[in-house]
Amino acid sequence: MTIVVAAHLESYMTTAQDLSIIAAAPDTDPALELGDLSLALAGAELIDLIDARAVTLDGDRLVPGATPRTESVLLLEAAGTFTGRPPHDTVEDWLWRRGPELAERYRADPEAAGPGAPARSRRPFRKARPVEVDTAVLSRANDRWTAREPVLAALAAAAGIGEVSDDTLAGLEDDQGAVLTAVHHAITQLAAERQRRSIEGAAFDNIWRGY
Protein backbone atom coordinates (compact mmCIF):
# COMPACT_ATOMS: atom_id res chain seq x y z
CA MET A 1 0.00 0.00 0.00
CA THR A 2 1.34 3.41 -0.97
CA ILE A 3 0.81 6.21 1.53
CA VAL A 4 0.69 9.67 0.02
CA VAL A 5 1.76 12.41 2.39
CA ALA A 6 0.94 15.95 1.35
CA ALA A 7 3.47 18.70 1.82
CA HIS A 8 2.82 20.94 4.80
CA LEU A 9 1.52 24.42 4.06
CA GLU A 10 2.14 27.07 6.69
CA SER A 11 -0.94 27.78 8.78
CA TYR A 12 -3.04 30.51 7.24
CA MET A 13 -0.21 31.49 4.90
CA THR A 14 -1.18 30.80 1.32
CA THR A 15 -0.55 32.45 -2.03
CA ALA A 16 -4.21 33.40 -2.33
CA GLN A 17 -4.05 35.05 1.08
CA ASP A 18 -0.96 36.98 0.04
CA LEU A 19 -2.61 38.06 -3.21
CA SER A 20 -5.70 39.21 -1.32
CA ILE A 21 -3.52 41.32 0.98
CA ILE A 22 -1.68 42.89 -1.97
CA ALA A 23 -5.00 43.64 -3.68
CA ALA A 24 -6.19 45.48 -0.55
CA ALA A 25 -3.06 47.67 -0.28
CA PRO A 26 -3.68 51.43 -0.31
CA ASP A 27 -1.75 51.92 -3.55
CA THR A 28 -3.68 49.28 -5.51
CA ASP A 29 -5.95 50.58 -8.27
CA PRO A 30 -9.44 50.93 -6.74
CA ALA A 31 -10.96 50.05 -10.13
CA LEU A 32 -9.65 46.49 -9.84
CA GLU A 33 -12.20 44.06 -11.29
CA LEU A 34 -13.39 41.64 -8.63
CA GLY A 35 -14.10 38.95 -11.23
CA ASP A 36 -10.52 39.08 -12.50
CA LEU A 37 -9.17 38.96 -8.95
CA SER A 38 -11.44 36.03 -8.07
CA LEU A 39 -10.08 33.98 -10.97
CA ALA A 40 -6.51 34.87 -10.01
CA LEU A 41 -7.21 33.84 -6.40
CA ALA A 42 -8.56 30.50 -7.61
CA GLY A 43 -5.36 30.10 -9.62
CA ALA A 44 -3.32 30.89 -6.51
CA GLU A 45 -5.19 28.22 -4.55
CA LEU A 46 -4.61 25.70 -7.32
CA ILE A 47 -0.86 26.38 -7.47
CA ASP A 48 -0.55 25.90 -3.71
CA LEU A 49 -2.56 22.68 -3.90
CA ILE A 50 -0.34 21.36 -6.70
CA ASP A 51 2.73 22.22 -4.62
CA ALA A 52 1.18 20.36 -1.68
CA ARG A 53 0.45 17.34 -3.92
CA ALA A 54 -3.24 17.66 -3.13
CA VAL A 55 -3.84 17.58 -6.89
CA THR A 56 -1.72 16.82 -9.93
CA LEU A 57 -1.93 17.86 -13.56
CA ASP A 58 -2.49 15.11 -16.11
CA GLY A 59 -2.31 17.12 -19.30
CA ASP A 60 -4.87 19.83 -18.56
CA ARG A 61 -6.88 17.63 -16.16
CA LEU A 62 -6.82 17.89 -12.36
CA VAL A 63 -6.37 14.56 -10.59
CA PRO A 64 -7.05 14.69 -6.82
CA GLY A 65 -4.30 13.56 -4.44
CA ALA A 66 -3.72 13.81 -0.70
CA THR A 67 -5.55 16.18 1.63
CA PRO A 68 -3.26 19.19 2.21
CA ARG A 69 -1.91 19.77 5.70
CA THR A 70 -3.04 23.32 6.24
CA GLU A 71 -5.22 25.25 8.66
CA SER A 72 -6.54 27.51 5.90
CA VAL A 73 -10.27 26.81 5.76
CA LEU A 74 -10.60 28.26 2.26
CA LEU A 75 -7.72 26.18 0.90
CA LEU A 76 -9.13 23.00 2.44
CA GLU A 77 -12.47 23.88 0.91
CA ALA A 78 -10.81 24.31 -2.48
CA ALA A 79 -9.11 20.92 -2.13
CA GLY A 80 -12.51 19.31 -1.61
CA THR A 81 -13.92 20.57 -4.90
CA PHE A 82 -11.92 18.36 -7.28
CA THR A 83 -13.78 15.73 -9.26
CA GLY A 84 -12.82 12.34 -7.85
CA ARG A 85 -13.61 10.21 -10.89
CA PRO A 86 -12.76 10.64 -14.57
CA PRO A 87 -13.35 12.73 -16.50
CA HIS A 88 -11.59 15.12 -14.14
CA ASP A 89 -12.02 18.89 -14.42
CA THR A 90 -9.80 20.84 -16.75
CA VAL A 91 -7.85 23.63 -15.09
CA GLU A 92 -10.01 26.31 -16.67
CA ASP A 93 -13.29 24.56 -15.85
CA TRP A 94 -12.20 24.35 -12.22
CA LEU A 95 -11.22 28.03 -12.15
CA TRP A 96 -14.69 29.00 -13.37
CA ARG A 97 -16.35 26.74 -10.80
CA ARG A 98 -14.18 27.87 -7.88
CA GLY A 99 -13.85 31.53 -8.80
CA PRO A 100 -17.30 33.12 -8.30
CA GLU A 101 -17.22 35.67 -5.43
CA LEU A 102 -13.87 34.32 -4.22
CA ALA A 103 -12.42 37.84 -3.90
CA GLU A 104 -15.25 38.84 -1.57
CA ARG A 105 -14.79 35.65 0.46
CA TYR A 106 -11.09 36.27 0.97
CA ARG A 107 -11.81 39.89 1.82
CA ALA A 108 -14.36 38.80 4.45
CA ASP A 109 -11.95 36.29 5.99
CA PRO A 110 -9.91 38.04 8.73
CA GLU A 111 -6.94 35.73 8.20
CA ALA A 112 -6.92 36.29 4.44
CA ALA A 113 -7.56 40.03 4.65
CA GLY A 114 -4.88 40.56 7.28
CA PRO A 115 -5.24 41.64 10.91
CA GLY A 116 -6.75 45.07 11.30
CA ALA A 117 -8.31 45.08 7.84
CA PRO A 118 -11.70 46.79 7.54
CA ALA A 119 -14.96 44.94 7.15
CA ARG A 120 -16.09 43.46 3.86
CA SER A 121 -17.28 45.87 1.23
CA ARG A 122 -18.53 45.77 -2.33
CA ARG A 123 -16.66 47.70 -5.02
CA PRO A 124 -14.03 49.05 -4.83
CA PHE A 125 -12.12 46.13 -3.39
CA ARG A 126 -9.44 48.32 -1.84
CA LYS A 127 -9.83 49.81 1.62
CA ALA A 128 -7.09 51.44 3.64
CA ARG A 129 -5.46 49.25 6.27
CA PRO A 130 -4.17 50.81 9.50
CA VAL A 131 -0.51 51.67 8.99
CA GLU A 132 0.45 50.51 12.48
CA VAL A 133 -0.39 46.88 11.67
CA ASP A 134 2.84 44.90 11.36
CA THR A 135 2.25 41.17 11.61
CA ALA A 136 3.91 38.05 10.28
CA VAL A 137 1.05 37.55 7.83
CA LEU A 138 1.33 41.03 6.35
CA SER A 139 5.13 40.93 6.39
CA ARG A 140 5.22 37.67 4.47
CA ALA A 141 2.91 38.99 1.75
CA ASN A 142 4.85 42.23 1.49
CA ASP A 143 8.19 40.40 1.39
CA ARG A 144 7.04 38.18 -1.47
CA TRP A 145 5.67 41.20 -3.32
CA THR A 146 8.80 43.28 -2.83
CA ALA A 147 10.98 40.38 -3.99
CA ARG A 148 8.74 39.97 -7.06
CA GLU A 149 8.30 36.31 -6.26
CA PRO A 150 7.32 34.81 -9.65
CA VAL A 151 4.02 33.12 -8.72
CA LEU A 152 2.62 36.04 -6.71
CA ALA A 153 3.83 38.66 -9.20
CA ALA A 154 2.42 36.77 -12.19
CA LEU A 155 -0.99 36.18 -10.59
CA ALA A 156 -1.20 39.79 -9.44
CA ALA A 157 -0.41 41.02 -12.96
CA ALA A 158 -3.11 38.73 -14.36
CA ALA A 159 -5.61 40.33 -11.99
CA GLY A 160 -4.52 43.82 -13.05
CA ILE A 161 -2.11 44.63 -10.22
CA GLY A 162 1.26 45.78 -11.51
CA GLU A 163 3.25 44.27 -14.35
CA VAL A 164 5.48 41.25 -14.66
CA SER A 165 8.72 40.90 -16.62
CA ASP A 166 9.75 38.04 -18.89
CA ASP A 167 12.57 37.26 -16.46
CA THR A 168 10.04 36.83 -13.66
CA LEU A 169 7.84 34.59 -15.79
CA ALA A 170 10.90 32.48 -16.59
CA GLY A 171 11.03 31.59 -12.89
CA LEU A 172 7.72 29.72 -13.05
CA GLU A 173 7.64 25.93 -13.04
CA ASP A 174 5.77 24.11 -15.81
CA ASP A 175 2.63 23.41 -13.75
CA GLN A 176 2.60 26.97 -12.44
CA GLY A 177 2.85 28.28 -15.99
CA ALA A 178 -0.01 26.02 -17.09
CA VAL A 179 -2.27 27.35 -14.33
CA LEU A 180 -1.29 30.94 -15.09
CA THR A 181 -2.09 30.43 -18.79
CA ALA A 182 -5.54 29.14 -17.86
CA VAL A 183 -6.07 32.12 -15.51
CA HIS A 184 -5.18 34.55 -18.30
CA HIS A 185 -7.52 32.81 -20.74
CA ALA A 186 -10.41 32.86 -18.27
CA ILE A 187 -9.84 36.54 -17.45
CA THR A 188 -9.76 37.36 -21.17
CA GLN A 189 -13.09 35.58 -21.60
CA LEU A 190 -14.54 37.48 -18.65
CA ALA A 191 -13.37 40.82 -20.11
CA ALA A 192 -15.00 39.94 -23.44
CA GLU A 193 -18.27 39.15 -21.65
CA ARG A 194 -18.14 42.49 -19.79
CA GLN A 195 -17.57 44.29 -23.07
CA ARG A 196 -20.47 42.47 -24.70
CA ARG A 197 -22.82 43.42 -21.89
CA SER A 198 -21.60 47.02 -21.99
CA ILE A 199 -22.31 47.24 -25.73
CA GLU A 200 -25.74 45.69 -25.30
CA GLY A 201 -26.50 48.11 -22.47
CA ALA A 202 -25.44 51.10 -24.57
CA ALA A 203 -27.58 49.91 -27.47
CA PHE A 204 -30.60 49.60 -25.16
CA ASP A 205 -30.03 53.15 -23.89
CA ASN A 206 -29.86 54.46 -27.45
CA ILE A 207 -33.20 52.82 -28.28
CA TRP A 208 -34.86 54.63 -25.38
CA ARG A 209 -33.30 57.96 -26.38
CA GLY A 210 -35.06 57.59 -29.75
CA TYR A 211 -38.48 57.85 -28.15
Q: Taking residues 176-190, what's their average pLDDT?
A: 97
Beta strand segments in 9-58, E: 55-58
Amino acid found at 16:
A
Residue 63 backbone phi and psi in degrees, to 5: -105, 120
Q: How far is CA 163 from CA 150, 155, 203, in A?
A: 11, 10, 34
> Which residue, 22, 43, 64, is CA-closest to 172?
43
Residue 200 has pLDDT above 60, yes or no: yes
Chain mean pLDDT for the chain: 82
The residue-averaged pLDDT of 117-128 equals 44
pLDDT-based confidence at residue 101 (cuts at 50, 70, 90): very high
* pLDDT more than 70, % of the chain: 76
Q: Tell me the longest C-alpha to C-alpha distance in the chain.
A: 75
Lowest mean pLDDT of 19-23, 65-69, 115-119, 176-180, name the range: 115-119
pLDDT of residue 210 exceeding 80: no
Task: Give the pLDDT score at 31.
Answer: 78
Written in H, E and C, the secondary structure of 116-127 is CCCCCCCCCCCC
pLDDT at 204 over 80: no
Q: Give the span between the Cα atoms of 77 and 135, in whole angstroms.
A: 25
Could you report the per-residue pLDDT of 42-69, keeping only the tens digit for each? Answer: 999 999 999 999 999 999 999 999 999 8
pLDDT of amino acid 110: 60
Q: What residue segments make up the domains of the chain, in order of their start?
A: 15-209
Name which residue leads in pLDDT, 118 or 189: 189
184 compared with 70, residue with greater pLDDT = 184
Instruction: Please determine, for residue 117, whether its predicted confidence score (pLDDT) is greater than 90.
Output: no
Identify the pLDDT of residue 209: 56
| pLDDT reported for residue 30 | 77
Angle between helices 150-159 and 15-23 (to 10 degrees): 50
pTM (2 d.p.) = 0.82
pLDDT reported for residue 196: 85
